[in-house]
Amino acid sequence: MAKDVIIALDFPSREEVFSFLEPFEPPVFVKVGMELFYREGGSIVKELKERGYKVFLDLKLHDIPNTVKSAMANLLDYNPDMVDVHIAGGSHMIEEVSNLINKQEKKPILLGITMLTSTSEERMHKELKIDKSLSLEDTVLSYVEMGLEAGLTGIVCSPLEVPKLKEVFPNLVTVTPGIRMEIVEGDDQERVVTPKRARELGSDYIVVGRPITKAKNPVEAYEKIKKEFLEG
């Protein structure tokens, strides 16, 4: 299974993205999320791809099956390497997207979002009305099972969830944010791990934002993280 480091391009504009990327040699894998996409539109993805970058287009689609299928058809025109949908959208929605992707000559990896990390077990029971007999972990496992049956290739999850998920679904591709070079109390990412630890836990791709984008020397930070993640 491929392993790589994906840089989260959490910048507000195209100018900042390309000034940040200037010293990097493509093909680096990058992530475009809602903030950047809703500002710059598809042209940012198109431009990144034309310059040789690999792109995870992280827009977490969630709507009725027909709408998500049509929206994804538009996104596929930009030729992303990885896309995602909310598993909560249901099996029919995921199947529509998966069938569409399977018809493409170049198929992006289709990921599912299980439970957002901002949703605690307590909120999951209280607000989403998930049966109280189901733990957060049980719920994530059943979401993944349904998502895989409907055609997902992988999921976005915490590195700490990877061992359990791989035990049950060995072929699942896992993409994991929450990476830090050092573990510091009070980080806004709860449950963070180092690249080395993510490797030991079995993550396939790590998503790294600020430890690279805010580093004094981003290329050096990227190389260090990549080495730690790929070689230990």
Which residues are designated catalytic?
60
- The residue among 25, 11, 75, 83 whose CA lies nearest residue 53 is 25
- Mark the segment that binds ligand C5P (CB under 6 A) among 21-29, 36-44, 133-141, 173-181: 173-181
- Work out how close the CB of 59 gets to ligand C5P at its nearest, in angstroms, rounded to a whole number: 12
Nearest to ligand C5P of 33, 108 (CB atom): 33
**Residue number, nearest CB to ligand C5P:** 209
Q: Does 16 bind ligand C5P (CB under 6 A)?
A: no
- Mark the segment that binds ligand C5P (CB under 6 A) among 42-50, 98-106, 171-179, 217-225: 171-179
- CA-to-CA separations, 221 to 10, 23, 141, 200, in angstroms, rounded: 16, 12, 34, 20
Q: Which one-letter DSSP state was computed for residue 87?
A: G
| Burial degree of 133 (CB within 10 A; 0-12, 13-18, 19+) | exposed
Q: Does 10 bind ligand C5P (CB under 6 A)?
A: yes
- CA dist 197 and 193 (Å) reads 6
- Work out how close the CB of 156 gets to ligand C5P at its nearest, in angstroms, rounded to a whole number: 6
- The residue among 221, 225, 222, 188 whose CA lies nearest residue 203 is 225
Q: Does 156 bind ligand C5P (CB under 6 A)?
A: yes
- Work out how close the CB of 88 gets to ligand C5P at its nearest, in angstroms, rounded to a whole number: 14
Q: For residue 229, which amino acid is it?
A: F
Please say whether the dihedral angle defined by the alpha carbons of residues 209, 215, 220 and 224, taken in this order, is positive or negative. Answer: negative
Nearest to ligand C5P of 151, 177 (CB atom): 177
Gyration radius (Cα) of the chain, Å: 17
- Please list every residue from 67 through 106 that binds ligand C5P, using CB under 6 A: none
- Mark residues 110-149: x for contact with ligand C5P by CB under 6 A, - for none: -------x--------------------------------
Q: Is 172 helix (H, G, I), strand (E, B) or coil?
A: coil
Size of the site for ligand C5P (CB under 6 A): 14
- Please list every residue from 182 through 221 that binds ligand C5P, using CB under 6 A: 189, 207-211
- CA-to-CA separations, 21 to 48, 71, 158, 205, in angstroms, rounded: 10, 28, 26, 20
Q: Partners of 112 in the beta sheet?
A: 85, 155
Of 7, 11, 33, 96, the residue at the interface with ligand C5P (CB under 6 A) is: 33
Nearest to ligand C5P of 106, 214 (CB atom): 214
What residue ranges bind ligand C5P (CB under 6 A)?
8, 10, 33, 117, 156, 177-179, 189, 207-211
